[in-house]
Amino acid sequence: EMQLVESGGGLVQPGGSVRLSCAASGFAFSRYSMNWVRQAPGKGLEWVSYISSGGNTIYADSVKGRFTISRDNAENSLHLQMSSLRAEDTAVYYCVRPSGYCSGGTCYGAFDIWGQGTMVTVSS
Residues that bind another protein (CB under 8 A): 35, 44-47, 50, 58, 60-61, 94, 98-101, 106, 108-112, 114-117
C-beta of residue 82 within 8 angstroms of C-beta of residue 89: yes
Which amino acid does the sequence have at 74?
A
CA 121/CA 77 separation, integer angstroms: 23
Nearest distance, CB of residue 122 and another protein, angstroms? 21
In the complex with another protein, which residue's Cβ is closer, 11 or 45?
A: 45
Which amino acid does the sequence have at 107?
C
In the complex with another protein, which residue's Cβ is closer, 14 or 114?
A: 114
- How many residues does the structure list for the chain? 124
In the complex with another protein, which residue's Cβ is closer, 84 or 108?
A: 108
